[in-house]
Structure 1
Amino acid sequence: MQCALEVVTCSHYRHSDTYEVPIPPSPNLPTAESIYLYPSLCFFEGTGVSVGRGTDKPFEVFGAPAATQFAYTFTPAPNKGSTQPPFNGQRCYGRDLSQLPDSVLLAGRLQLEYLIDMYQSIGATTDFFRKDGFFDKLAGSDLLRRQLESGLSEEEIRLSWSDGLAAFKRVRSKYLLYPDFE
Protein backbone atom coordinates (compact mmCIF):
# COMPACT_ATOMS: atom_id res chain seq x y z
CA MET A 1 0.00 0.00 0.00
CA GLN A 2 1.24 3.47 -0.83
CA CYS A 3 -0.04 6.73 0.51
CA ALA A 4 1.01 10.30 1.05
CA LEU A 5 1.97 10.71 4.68
CA GLU A 6 2.16 14.02 6.44
CA VAL A 7 3.53 14.08 9.99
CA VAL A 8 2.22 16.98 12.05
CA THR A 9 4.32 17.99 15.03
CA CYS A 10 2.97 19.40 18.29
CA SER A 11 3.76 23.03 18.89
CA HIS A 12 5.95 23.77 21.92
CA TYR A 13 6.41 20.09 22.80
CA ARG A 14 9.59 18.96 24.58
CA HIS A 15 10.67 15.41 25.43
CA SER A 16 10.94 16.53 29.04
CA ASP A 17 7.25 17.51 29.20
CA THR A 18 5.28 15.38 31.63
CA TYR A 19 1.87 13.98 30.90
CA GLU A 20 -0.54 12.04 33.06
CA VAL A 21 -2.81 9.64 31.23
CA PRO A 22 -6.49 10.31 31.94
CA ILE A 23 -7.30 6.57 32.03
CA PRO A 24 -4.91 4.00 33.52
CA PRO A 25 -3.50 1.78 30.74
CA SER A 26 -3.86 -1.33 32.94
CA PRO A 27 -5.30 -2.29 36.33
CA ASN A 28 -1.66 -2.95 37.30
CA LEU A 29 -0.55 0.54 36.23
CA PRO A 30 -3.12 2.63 38.10
CA THR A 31 -1.00 5.70 38.90
CA ALA A 32 1.51 7.97 37.23
CA GLU A 33 4.10 6.65 39.70
CA SER A 34 3.52 3.03 38.63
CA ILE A 35 3.82 4.02 34.97
CA TYR A 36 7.11 5.84 35.57
CA LEU A 37 8.47 2.95 37.68
CA TYR A 38 7.40 0.22 35.25
CA PRO A 39 10.51 0.32 33.00
CA SER A 40 12.73 -0.25 36.04
CA LEU A 41 10.55 -2.78 37.85
CA CYS A 42 9.35 -4.86 34.89
CA PHE A 43 12.58 -6.88 34.99
CA PHE A 44 11.35 -8.42 38.25
CA GLU A 45 8.66 -10.18 36.19
CA GLY A 46 11.45 -12.52 35.04
CA THR A 47 12.51 -13.27 38.61
CA GLY A 48 11.15 -14.68 41.84
CA VAL A 49 10.35 -11.17 43.09
CA SER A 50 6.85 -9.71 43.30
CA VAL A 51 6.15 -6.30 41.75
CA GLY A 52 3.13 -5.80 43.97
CA ARG A 53 0.46 -7.42 41.82
CA GLY A 54 -2.39 -8.20 44.20
CA THR A 55 -1.80 -5.06 46.27
CA ASP A 56 -3.04 -1.48 45.99
CA LYS A 57 0.46 -0.48 44.78
CA PRO A 58 1.32 -2.64 41.75
CA PHE A 59 4.62 -1.58 40.19
CA GLU A 60 5.21 0.78 43.12
CA VAL A 61 6.48 -1.91 45.50
CA PHE A 62 8.63 -4.99 45.11
CA GLY A 63 9.67 -7.81 47.38
CA ALA A 64 9.90 -11.51 48.11
CA PRO A 65 9.33 -13.77 51.12
CA ALA A 66 13.08 -14.50 51.33
CA ALA A 67 14.13 -10.82 51.43
CA THR A 68 13.73 -10.55 55.21
CA GLN A 69 16.46 -7.92 55.59
CA PHE A 70 14.06 -5.30 54.18
CA ALA A 71 11.70 -3.63 56.67
CA TYR A 72 8.79 -2.89 54.31
CA THR A 73 6.26 -5.71 53.94
CA PHE A 74 3.20 -6.43 51.82
CA THR A 75 0.98 -9.47 51.32
CA PRO A 76 -0.44 -10.02 47.82
CA ALA A 77 -4.08 -11.09 47.56
CA PRO A 78 -6.39 -11.52 44.56
CA ASN A 79 -7.87 -8.29 43.22
CA LYS A 80 -9.18 -6.95 39.91
CA GLY A 81 -5.63 -6.45 38.63
CA SER A 82 -4.44 -9.95 39.49
CA THR A 83 -6.65 -12.90 40.37
CA GLN A 84 -3.64 -15.12 41.12
CA PRO A 85 -0.81 -12.83 42.21
CA PRO A 86 2.68 -14.23 42.79
CA PHE A 87 3.19 -15.06 46.49
CA ASN A 88 -0.57 -14.94 47.10
CA GLY A 89 -1.12 -14.74 50.86
CA GLN A 90 2.60 -14.71 51.67
CA ARG A 91 4.36 -11.84 53.42
CA CYS A 92 6.88 -10.24 51.07
CA TYR A 93 9.75 -8.07 52.24
CA GLY A 94 11.06 -5.34 49.99
CA ARG A 95 10.73 -1.68 49.18
CA ASP A 96 7.90 0.80 48.77
CA LEU A 97 8.71 3.29 46.00
CA SER A 98 5.31 5.00 45.95
CA GLN A 99 6.61 8.17 47.62
CA LEU A 100 9.73 8.72 45.53
CA PRO A 101 10.39 12.35 44.56
CA ASP A 102 9.78 13.45 40.99
CA SER A 103 13.53 13.90 40.55
CA VAL A 104 13.86 10.10 40.69
CA LEU A 105 10.63 9.20 38.90
CA LEU A 106 11.32 11.57 36.01
CA ALA A 107 15.06 10.89 35.75
CA GLY A 108 14.56 9.33 32.30
CA ARG A 109 16.69 6.28 33.00
CA LEU A 110 16.36 2.77 34.33
CA GLN A 111 16.92 2.56 38.06
CA LEU A 112 19.10 -0.55 38.18
CA GLU A 113 19.73 -0.18 41.91
CA TYR A 114 16.44 -1.96 42.72
CA LEU A 115 17.41 -5.03 40.72
CA ILE A 116 20.99 -5.04 41.98
CA ASP A 117 19.93 -4.62 45.63
CA MET A 118 17.40 -7.44 45.47
CA TYR A 119 19.77 -9.77 43.61
CA GLN A 120 22.54 -9.10 46.13
CA SER A 121 20.07 -9.69 48.96
CA ILE A 122 18.51 -13.00 47.88
CA GLY A 123 20.05 -14.05 44.57
CA ALA A 124 22.57 -16.47 46.03
CA THR A 125 20.02 -18.16 48.31
CA THR A 126 17.05 -18.50 45.94
CA ASP A 127 16.25 -19.31 42.34
CA PHE A 128 16.27 -15.60 41.58
CA PHE A 129 15.83 -15.83 37.80
CA ARG A 130 12.89 -17.76 36.38
CA LYS A 131 13.91 -20.97 34.64
CA ASP A 132 11.94 -20.13 31.47
CA GLY A 133 14.41 -17.42 30.40
CA PHE A 134 11.84 -14.64 30.67
CA PHE A 135 14.32 -12.26 32.30
CA ASP A 136 16.63 -12.57 29.28
CA LYS A 137 13.67 -11.84 26.97
CA LEU A 138 12.79 -8.71 28.94
CA ALA A 139 16.42 -7.55 28.86
CA GLY A 140 16.89 -8.41 25.17
CA SER A 141 19.69 -10.91 25.82
CA ASP A 142 21.40 -12.78 28.63
CA LEU A 143 23.95 -9.98 29.16
CA LEU A 144 22.21 -8.13 32.02
CA ARG A 145 21.56 -11.40 33.87
CA ARG A 146 25.20 -12.41 33.52
CA GLN A 147 26.31 -8.95 34.71
CA LEU A 148 24.13 -9.24 37.82
CA GLU A 149 25.39 -12.76 38.51
CA SER A 150 28.97 -11.50 38.16
CA GLY A 151 28.38 -8.75 40.71
CA LEU A 152 28.92 -5.79 38.37
CA SER A 153 28.00 -2.38 39.75
CA GLU A 154 25.36 -0.13 38.22
CA GLU A 155 28.14 2.07 36.84
CA GLU A 156 29.88 -0.91 35.20
CA ILE A 157 26.62 -2.13 33.67
CA ARG A 158 25.79 1.32 32.29
CA LEU A 159 29.31 1.66 30.88
CA SER A 160 28.81 -1.59 28.95
CA TRP A 161 25.87 0.04 27.16
CA SER A 162 27.73 3.19 26.05
CA ASP A 163 28.92 2.09 22.59
CA GLY A 164 25.52 0.69 21.62
CA LEU A 165 23.70 3.76 22.92
CA ALA A 166 26.03 6.10 21.04
CA ALA A 167 25.42 4.17 17.80
CA PHE A 168 21.66 4.21 18.36
CA LYS A 169 21.67 7.96 19.06
CA ARG A 170 23.55 8.63 15.82
CA VAL A 171 20.96 6.69 13.81
CA ARG A 172 17.95 8.17 15.58
CA SER A 173 19.17 11.77 15.32
CA LYS A 174 18.01 12.10 11.72
CA TYR A 175 14.47 11.02 12.65
CA LEU A 176 13.84 13.28 15.65
CA LEU A 177 10.88 15.61 15.30
CA TYR A 178 11.65 17.54 18.48
CA PRO A 179 14.83 18.78 20.16
CA ASP A 180 16.65 15.95 21.88
CA PHE A 181 16.21 15.71 25.65
CA GLU A 182 19.90 15.29 26.45
Structure 2
Amino acid sequence: MGLKEIVQQHGMTVGEPARFFNAEFLPAEAGRPVELRVVQCRHWQRDRLAADTDLPWVLPSPNMPTTDTALVYPGTCLFEGVASITEGRGTCRPFELIGGLATDFDYHWGDRLNARNLPGVRFREAYFSPTSAGQKPALLNKPCAGVEIKIVDRGAYDPIRTGVAMLVEARKYPAFAWRQDAWDQLRPYWIDKLTGSPRLRTMIDAGADVADVVGAWADELAAFDRQRQPYLLY
Protein backbone atom coordinates (compact mmCIF):
# COMPACT_ATOMS: atom_id res chain seq x y z
CA MET A 1 0.00 0.00 0.00
CA GLY A 2 1.05 3.60 -0.55
CA LEU A 3 -0.05 7.00 0.72
CA LYS A 4 -3.69 5.95 0.58
CA GLU A 5 -5.16 2.56 1.41
CA ILE A 6 -5.08 1.05 -2.06
CA VAL A 7 -3.19 -2.11 -2.93
CA GLN A 8 -0.22 -2.18 -5.27
CA GLN A 9 -1.90 -4.35 -7.91
CA HIS A 10 -5.49 -3.17 -7.60
CA GLY A 11 -6.87 -4.81 -10.74
CA MET A 12 -8.99 -1.84 -11.81
CA THR A 13 -9.32 0.05 -15.09
CA VAL A 14 -8.48 3.76 -15.07
CA GLY A 15 -12.01 4.98 -14.38
CA GLU A 16 -12.58 2.57 -11.51
CA PRO A 17 -9.88 3.97 -9.18
CA ALA A 18 -11.24 7.43 -10.00
CA ARG A 19 -14.65 6.31 -8.73
CA PHE A 20 -13.01 4.64 -5.72
CA PHE A 21 -10.96 7.71 -4.76
CA ASN A 22 -13.89 10.04 -5.32
CA ALA A 23 -16.08 8.15 -2.87
CA GLU A 24 -13.58 6.81 -0.36
CA PHE A 25 -10.92 9.52 -0.03
CA LEU A 26 -12.13 12.88 -1.37
CA PRO A 27 -14.83 13.47 1.28
CA ALA A 28 -12.15 13.44 3.99
CA GLU A 29 -9.65 15.45 1.91
CA ALA A 30 -11.94 18.01 0.28
CA GLY A 31 -15.16 17.77 2.26
CA ARG A 32 -17.18 16.13 -0.49
CA PRO A 33 -16.79 14.09 -3.68
CA VAL A 34 -16.64 15.81 -7.05
CA GLU A 35 -19.10 15.34 -9.89
CA LEU A 36 -17.49 12.49 -11.80
CA ARG A 37 -18.53 10.80 -15.03
CA VAL A 38 -16.63 7.80 -16.37
CA VAL A 39 -17.31 6.69 -19.94
CA GLN A 40 -17.39 2.91 -20.11
CA CYS A 41 -15.82 0.88 -22.89
CA ARG A 42 -18.07 -1.37 -24.91
CA HIS A 43 -17.32 -5.09 -25.07
CA TRP A 44 -14.52 -4.93 -22.50
CA GLN A 45 -14.07 -8.04 -20.37
CA ARG A 46 -12.41 -7.88 -16.99
CA ASP A 47 -10.25 -10.99 -17.48
CA ARG A 48 -8.67 -9.77 -20.72
CA LEU A 49 -5.06 -8.65 -20.89
CA ALA A 50 -3.61 -6.14 -23.32
CA ALA A 51 -1.91 -9.00 -25.17
CA ASP A 52 -5.31 -10.61 -25.73
CA THR A 53 -6.53 -7.70 -27.86
CA ASP A 54 -5.62 -6.37 -31.29
CA LEU A 55 -5.05 -2.89 -29.86
CA PRO A 56 -1.60 -1.35 -30.38
CA TRP A 57 0.55 -1.14 -27.26
CA VAL A 58 1.24 2.52 -26.47
CA LEU A 59 4.27 2.91 -24.20
CA PRO A 60 3.22 4.70 -20.98
CA SER A 61 6.94 5.06 -20.24
CA PRO A 62 10.21 4.37 -22.09
CA ASN A 63 10.75 1.70 -19.44
CA MET A 64 7.44 -0.03 -20.25
CA PRO A 65 8.07 -1.18 -23.85
CA THR A 66 5.94 -4.34 -23.95
CA THR A 67 2.81 -5.85 -22.46
CA ASP A 68 5.02 -8.30 -20.56
CA THR A 69 6.75 -5.34 -18.89
CA ALA A 70 3.38 -4.22 -17.59
CA LEU A 71 2.73 -7.69 -16.16
CA VAL A 72 6.01 -7.99 -14.27
CA TYR A 73 6.19 -4.36 -13.14
CA PRO A 74 3.99 -4.61 -9.99
CA GLY A 75 6.51 -7.06 -8.55
CA THR A 76 9.88 -6.09 -9.97
CA CYS A 77 9.34 -2.37 -9.36
CA LEU A 78 10.09 -3.29 -5.73
CA PHE A 79 13.74 -3.47 -6.77
CA GLU A 80 13.70 0.30 -7.07
CA GLY A 81 14.00 0.05 -3.29
CA VAL A 82 17.25 -1.97 -3.47
CA ALA A 83 20.44 0.09 -3.87
CA SER A 84 22.65 -2.77 -5.05
CA ILE A 85 20.34 -4.14 -7.77
CA THR A 86 19.22 -2.60 -11.06
CA GLU A 87 15.77 -3.06 -12.57
CA GLY A 88 17.29 -3.24 -16.05
CA ARG A 89 16.68 0.38 -17.00
CA GLY A 90 18.48 1.22 -20.21
CA THR A 91 18.22 -2.34 -21.53
CA CYS A 92 15.75 -3.74 -24.04
CA ARG A 93 13.93 -5.53 -21.19
CA PRO A 94 13.51 -3.12 -18.28
CA PHE A 95 11.89 -4.71 -15.21
CA GLU A 96 12.35 -8.13 -16.82
CA LEU A 97 16.15 -8.04 -16.40
CA ILE A 98 17.10 -7.74 -12.74
CA GLY A 99 20.65 -7.95 -11.42
CA GLY A 100 23.56 -6.52 -9.50
CA LEU A 101 27.27 -6.17 -10.11
CA ALA A 102 28.67 -9.37 -11.60
CA THR A 103 31.26 -9.44 -8.81
CA ASP A 104 28.45 -9.64 -6.22
CA PHE A 105 25.59 -11.67 -7.79
CA ASP A 106 25.52 -14.87 -9.86
CA TYR A 107 23.41 -17.51 -11.62
CA HIS A 108 22.55 -19.28 -8.36
CA TRP A 109 19.89 -16.60 -7.81
CA GLY A 110 17.96 -17.92 -10.82
CA ASP A 111 18.56 -21.54 -9.80
CA ARG A 112 17.05 -20.95 -6.36
CA LEU A 113 14.08 -19.11 -7.84
CA ASN A 114 13.38 -21.88 -10.35
CA ALA A 115 13.55 -24.41 -7.53
CA ARG A 116 10.61 -22.64 -5.90
CA ASN A 117 8.37 -23.50 -8.90
CA LEU A 118 6.57 -20.17 -8.75
CA PRO A 119 3.37 -20.25 -10.84
CA GLY A 120 3.55 -19.04 -14.42
CA VAL A 121 7.18 -17.96 -14.47
CA ARG A 122 10.69 -19.26 -15.09
CA PHE A 123 14.04 -17.53 -14.63
CA ARG A 124 17.04 -17.48 -16.96
CA GLU A 125 20.48 -16.37 -15.85
CA ALA A 126 21.28 -13.04 -17.46
CA TYR A 127 24.24 -10.70 -17.89
CA PHE A 128 23.83 -7.10 -19.00
CA SER A 129 25.07 -3.53 -18.55
CA PRO A 130 22.36 -0.94 -17.78
CA THR A 131 22.77 2.29 -19.74
CA SER A 132 20.43 4.09 -17.35
CA ALA A 133 20.77 3.64 -13.61
CA GLY A 134 18.29 6.14 -12.17
CA GLN A 135 19.27 6.66 -8.54
CA LYS A 136 21.95 3.94 -8.70
CA PRO A 137 24.95 5.48 -10.48
CA ALA A 138 27.31 2.78 -9.19
CA LEU A 139 25.63 0.31 -11.55
CA LEU A 140 25.67 2.49 -14.68
CA ASN A 141 27.34 0.76 -17.63
CA LYS A 142 28.77 -1.91 -15.30
CA PRO A 143 28.59 -5.66 -16.01
CA CYS A 144 25.66 -7.00 -14.01
CA ALA A 145 24.57 -10.56 -13.29
CA GLY A 146 21.10 -11.67 -12.38
CA VAL A 147 17.96 -13.09 -13.91
CA GLU A 148 15.61 -12.58 -16.83
CA ILE A 149 11.97 -13.19 -15.97
CA LYS A 150 10.14 -15.32 -18.52
CA ILE A 151 6.36 -15.46 -18.14
CA VAL A 152 5.18 -18.88 -19.29
CA ASP A 153 1.55 -18.66 -18.17
CA ARG A 154 0.02 -15.19 -17.94
CA GLY A 155 -3.06 -16.47 -16.15
CA ALA A 156 -1.12 -18.20 -13.40
CA TYR A 157 1.62 -15.60 -12.96
CA ASP A 158 1.53 -13.64 -9.68
CA PRO A 159 3.83 -10.60 -9.96
CA ILE A 160 3.72 -9.62 -6.28
CA ARG A 161 4.51 -13.11 -4.95
CA THR A 162 7.22 -13.41 -7.62
CA GLY A 163 8.74 -10.07 -6.65
CA VAL A 164 8.76 -11.03 -2.97
CA ALA A 165 10.43 -14.35 -3.79
CA MET A 166 13.09 -12.52 -5.79
CA LEU A 167 13.75 -10.18 -2.87
CA VAL A 168 13.93 -13.05 -0.37
CA GLU A 169 16.52 -14.86 -2.47
CA ALA A 170 18.47 -11.70 -3.34
CA ARG A 171 18.68 -10.82 0.36
CA LYS A 172 20.91 -13.89 0.83
CA TYR A 173 23.77 -12.17 -1.03
CA PRO A 174 26.16 -10.16 1.20
CA ALA A 175 26.09 -7.26 -1.27
CA PHE A 176 22.33 -6.82 -0.96
CA ALA A 177 21.49 -3.35 0.40
CA TRP A 178 18.21 -1.50 0.73
CA ARG A 179 18.17 1.96 -0.86
CA GLN A 180 18.17 4.76 1.70
CA ASP A 181 17.17 8.41 1.34
CA ALA A 182 19.15 10.69 3.66
CA TRP A 183 16.68 13.54 3.14
CA ASP A 184 13.74 11.59 4.62
CA GLN A 185 14.22 11.09 8.34
CA LEU A 186 10.73 9.62 8.86
CA ARG A 187 10.95 6.95 6.14
CA PRO A 188 14.61 6.61 5.15
CA TYR A 189 14.10 3.36 3.23
CA TRP A 190 12.68 3.66 -0.30
CA ILE A 191 11.11 0.20 -0.11
CA ASP A 192 8.96 1.41 2.81
CA LYS A 193 7.59 4.16 0.56
CA LEU A 194 6.88 1.68 -2.23
CA THR A 195 5.05 -0.76 0.05
CA GLY A 196 3.50 1.76 2.44
CA SER A 197 5.14 0.48 5.65
CA PRO A 198 8.35 -1.13 6.99
CA ARG A 199 6.63 -4.52 7.21
CA LEU A 200 7.98 -6.16 4.03
CA ARG A 201 11.53 -4.95 4.65
CA THR A 202 11.66 -5.95 8.32
CA MET A 203 10.14 -9.36 7.65
CA ILE A 204 12.62 -10.14 4.89
CA ASP A 205 15.52 -8.87 7.01
CA ALA A 206 14.34 -11.16 9.83
CA GLY A 207 14.45 -14.18 7.51
CA ALA A 208 10.75 -14.62 6.77
CA ASP A 209 9.97 -16.73 3.72
CA VAL A 210 7.66 -15.83 0.85
CA ALA A 211 4.46 -17.37 2.21
CA ASP A 212 4.84 -15.53 5.51
CA VAL A 213 5.52 -12.17 3.85
CA VAL A 214 2.64 -12.44 1.37
CA GLY A 215 0.34 -13.89 4.00
CA ALA A 216 0.93 -10.90 6.27
CA TRP A 217 -1.37 -8.74 4.15
CA ALA A 218 -3.93 -11.38 3.14
CA ASP A 219 -6.68 -10.00 5.40
CA GLU A 220 -6.07 -6.43 4.22
CA LEU A 221 -6.15 -7.59 0.60
CA ALA A 222 -9.49 -9.34 1.13
CA ALA A 223 -10.90 -6.25 2.83
CA PHE A 224 -9.78 -4.05 -0.06
CA ASP A 225 -11.37 -6.41 -2.58
CA ARG A 226 -14.70 -6.06 -0.77
CA GLN A 227 -14.28 -2.30 -0.57
CA ARG A 228 -13.63 -1.87 -4.29
CA GLN A 229 -16.60 -3.92 -5.48
CA PRO A 230 -19.14 -1.02 -5.67
CA TYR A 231 -16.81 0.92 -7.98
CA LEU A 232 -16.13 -1.75 -10.59
CA LEU A 233 -17.63 -1.13 -14.02
CA TYR A 234 -16.88 -4.43 -15.76
TM-score normalised to the size of structure 1? 0.80
CA contact (8 A) 1:54 1:88 kept: no
Q: State yes or no: 1:73 paired with 2:127.
A: yes
Once the two structures are TM-superposed, the CA of residue 64 in structure 1 deviates from its matched residue by 0.4
Q: Residue 5 and residue 26 in structure 1: after superposition, are their counterparts in 2 closer, same or farther (change >3 A)?
A: closer
Q: Which runs of 5+ in 1 are unaligned?
A: none
Once the two structures are TM-superposed, the CA of residue 102 in structure 1 deviates from its matched residue by 3.4
CA contact (8 A) 2:107 2:145 kept: yes
- 1:96: which partner in 2? 148
Q: Residue 4 and residue 126 in structure 1: after superposition, are their counterparts in 2 closer, same or farther (change >3 A)?
A: closer
CA contact (8 A) 2:90 2:130 kept: yes
User: Helix, strand or coil: the match of 2:147?
Assistant: strand
Task: Tell me the number of residue pairs that the alignment of Structure 1 and Structure 2 aligns.
Answer: 170
CA contact (8 A) 1:67 1:93 kept: yes
Cα root mean square deviation, aligned: 2.7
Q: Which runs of 5+ in 2 are unaligned?
A: 1-31, 109-124, 182-188
TM-score normalised to the size of structure 2? 0.64
Per-residue displacement from partner, 1:8-41 (whole Å, max 9, x unpaired)?
4334422211115532111111111112111111
Query: What is the distance in 2 between the residues matched to 1:63 and 1:2?
Result: 44
Query: What is the distance in 2 between the residues matched to 1:101 and 1:115?
Result: 20
- Structure 2 counterpart of 1:72, one-letter code: A
User: Helix, strand or coil: the match of 2:227?
Assistant: helix
Aligned-residue sequence identity (percent) comes to 32
Q: Residue 63 and residue 158 in structure 1: after superposition, are their counterparts in 2 closer, same or farther (change >3 A)?
A: same
Per-residue displacement from partner, 1:18-73 (whole Å, max 9, x unpaired)?
11553211111111111211111111011021111122211111000111244421
Per-residue displacement from partner, 1:111-162 (whole Å, max 9, x unpaired)?
2222222122x1xx12510122111101111100011111111111121111
